[in-house]
Structure 1
Amino acid sequence: MATDSTLLNSEMELQQQEDLYQQLLSQTIGNMQTANPDTKVIRPQPGICVKTTSEPSKEKVFVNICQSNLLPAPPELSREKLLDLLQSEDPSGYRVPMSLGEPHTEVDNNSQGCTAYDVVINQDFFQKCQKEPLFQQFVIMVSLEGLENKYNIELSREWKVLKNRKFLGSVSEQNIRTKSKPVIQELQPPETSPSEARRPEFTLFVEPPSGVPEHLIAEIKLPGVVSSRSLVLDIGEDRLVLTARPSLYYLDIFHPFLVDQDLSVAQYNSSTQILTITLPVVSS
């Protein structure tokens, strides 16, 4: 998790902000047009096939949860911690590294068209989930949430694991990140306790709105925050943590993209009391 106090500069003039954003935009576009040495092509092994439906259309959807030893394993998770996560309204405190493939059209056993998605997780963790139904339930849940966030869809939580089928369609290759930075990173405890602070209103959107995402932009409303000097912003590869002191606001969110922490920029407008964070997308 990288912390850079220079990300927050309320004294920056509007023209300087615009120039910086245009420079960031041009640099990111140029980088994305070249080959990415931090990715690797893998061919995952079949695992389990989960049948569900899309909402509200009720069209059939199949999720192929695959396995590969090239995906990092998540942190150790006890059964007690897992029970707490499953009972929590927000289980995002525990992240399962996974690769989410593009949707592909397939034909089910009734010769009807359907949509399938491929999700790849660490092989050892997958085997652990096979031995413990509770862990399998958790992986299916986070897989559905990941697909919903990435593709802006809604999937039913009434699913069925197919007994005699490990995969629907054919196993496709996927690109995964091989960069040395860990997918899961530990955050330092914030100075503001989440229980004492309010969760601010925020909006996330991607640019461009369609096609390959280039930037993830977060707009966070912070009524009552007079200066950026009271803000502490932590940006991770797929996580954003904001603290407004003293005990005013606290926001801890995960997003469905991997972003460039070093090129991320944040500006706080003290007039509108809105913090805008621009995060270049390097992978999704």
Structure 2
Amino acid sequence: MSSFRLNPLPGFCVKSKALQDTVVPIFINIAWDSNVPPPPPASEDAIQKAMLGELNNAWFVPVIVSDLRDDKDKAGQPSLVIDCVFNTAIKSRTLKDPDFKAFIIELSLQRVEAHTSLLLSRQVGTPNIASKGKPQSRQVLVPGPLFPPGQPHHKSDTKTNLIQELDPPADASSPPRIKTILKSAPNSHTPTWTWFMAQSKICIVINVPNVTHAHIPNSTLDVEPRKVILHIPPLYDLVVDLDASNARSGSNHGIHSKGAIELKSLRDLDVDGANAEWRVAEKVIVLLV
């Protein structure tokens, strides 16, 4: 993990409303910071496929989302503001290419929805302001592998066990012994989670409000093609088993979370391309698979 401070520069602003509450406007500041991981290198064809939402495309755009904060609109009425911060590498294309800008706006709406649990209207406006208030500076924690080699924040992450690839079981016919993992934390709780598509990636957002820096060294997040296992002793244990039937899913399997049935039928998880980040301010772990 790489820890650094964001000092976002304003880009442009998008105005929407939550479908649950159409009275209070929500302003999304699209901002830039060179410390945010850039998108991976890709051909124009791969980028176009991602913009069209093709699920088997591997190109994605990292974005760091702030917390919601209170503000007022130009009429003095209550409003909410949130920042979506992208790497400056995509700034030029976003401002010059209307289709790419629409893609970035939709991505921002999706990420805000995942972070806040709000459903946002797609009838958006673009106020003639660079940002609603100043985008907030803050400390963030991002996985080193998201950064390209040569960048200061790039790390192999070989010293962290937040993401691990599970070895195949010696006897493939034997069921995985999940219970042995869970026994070490009898007082742990099952965190809530949700998911959405971020271009070709499945983005799983797990709520971990009580996690601190002290818990991370002993935490594991294991990814298999059909399973995610989160273990944060002594706080949380979660097993998302995409092959488990609804009837036999235990309380710690979390398969009844919102949208889990759709996730089961989507596709296998991308083990080799898995990345995770613990967002301290947002109190979530975000897994891209």
How high is the TM-score relative to the length of structure 2?
Answer: 0.54
Alignment CA distance shift 1:181-1:66 (3 Å): same
SS at match of 1:111: coil
8 Å CA contact 2:12, 2:29 repeated in 1: yes
Q: Percent identity?
A: 19
Query: Please, which of 214, 228, 238 is the counterpart of residue 217 of structure 1?
Result: 238
SS at match of 1:129: helix
Alignment CA distance shift 1:282-1:119 (3 Å): closer
Alignment CA distance shift 1:183-1:143 (3 Å): farther
1:117-160 alpha-carbon deviations (Å, 9 max, x no partner):
11110012122211111111111111111111122111111212
Q: What does residue 156 of structure 1 align with?
A: 121
Alignment CA distance shift 1:109-1:91 (3 Å): farther
Distance 1:89 1:165 in 2: 33
1:37-81 alpha-carbon deviations (Å, 9 max, x no partner):
831112111111001111132131110010011112102455544
Q: What residue ranges of structure 1 are gaps of 5+ in the alignment?
A: 1-36, 186-202, 225-247, 261-279
**Aligned counterparts, 1:86-125, within 5 A:** 86-88=51-53, 90=55, 93-125=58-90
RMSD: 4.0
SS at match of 1:75: coil
Q: What does residue 131 of structure 1 align with?
A: 96
Distance 1:93 1:128 in 2: 19
Letter of the structure 2 residue corresponding to residue 177 of structure 1: L
How high is the TM-score relative to the length of structure 1?
Answer: 0.54
Letter of the structure 2 residue corresponding to residue 251 of structure 1: D
Distance 2:96 2:241 in 1: 42
State yes or no: 1:168 paired with 2:189: no
Distance 2:98 2:191 in 1: 34
8 Å CA contact 1:45, 1:66 repeated in 2: yes
State yes or no: 1:182 paired with 2:130: no
8 Å CA contact 1:82, 1:135 repeated in 2: no
8 Å CA contact 1:129, 1:135 repeated in 2: yes
Q: What does residue 277 of structure 2 align with?
A: 258
* Larger RCO of the pair (alpha carbons < 8 Å, separation 6+): 1
By how many angstroms is 1:84 displaced?
2.9
8 Å CA contact 1:149, 1:256 repeated in 2: no
Distance 1:168 1:156 in 2: 18
8 Å CA contact 1:44, 1:173 repeated in 2: yes
By how many angstroms is 1:97 displaced?
1.3
Higher mean C-alpha deviation, range 213-222 or range 69-78: 213-222
Distance 1:182 1:208 in 2: 19
Alignment CA distance shift 1:256-1:136 (3 Å): farther
Larger radius of gyration: 1
